[in-house]
Amino acid sequence: MKRAAILHGTDGSPTELVWQTWLKDALEHAGYDVYFPQLPNCDEPNVATYDAFIQKSGWDFHDSILIGHSSGATTALHLLQQDWFPHVRSTILVGTFLNEDLVHNASWYTPGKFKNLFVDTFDVKKIRNKSGSFYFVHGDDDPYCDYQAAKDLCDDVGGTFIAMHGAGHIAKSAGITKLPLLLDKLKTDSVL
């Protein structure tokens, strides 16, 4: 059975971003069962809450494709560090949110919003060993998630970095409806 899971970002939902719906449809067309849940209390992402929710979901993540956007990418990285979480076939991180450095001046930001999202450090070795491959998709002008930090982590885990010119945070404001570069790369690399 081919499986994939998509984890949306802060204040998101499974229907919020057009590219996520498009990717879900593309995966299903390729024969995948796709788990795309509404994450609880996503206005203030909390890795402990998400961890408990995902553990209780009953979804089999073994040998699946794990996809996360923004704080969903942070959550995916957290999951890969957990002993209970299985090895996945591939991890795709879109607009990887690794710190709050760029969000303090955003109109939607409130202090403490992400206090339960980030871990002190990522265990790069453990993360690398939990996934067969990594793909980072990042807007070269992302106003919220540090481009260089994402690129550095991608290098650390031996991933493939896909830069999208002018794509911002790859969210509503950027008008991104599809990720064809990602899909083409996954097909070329026989992930799909």
**pLDDT tens digits, residue range 87-137?**
999 999 999 999 888 888 888 888 889 999 987 788 999 999 999 999 999
Domain definitions of the chain by residue range: 2-188
Of all helices (H) and strands (E), which one includes residue 27?
helix 18-29
Q: By C-alpha distance, which of 179, 148, 154 is closest to 73?
A: 154
pTM of the entire structure?
A: 0.95
Residue-level pLDDT at 173 = 77
Measured distance CA(36)–CA(179) in Å, rounded: 17
Amino acid letter, 68: G
Fold of 2-188: Rossmann fold (3.40.50)
3-state secondary structure at position 123: coil
**pLDDT tens digits, residue range 4-53?**
999 999 999 999 899 999 999 999 999 999 999 999 999 999 999 999 99
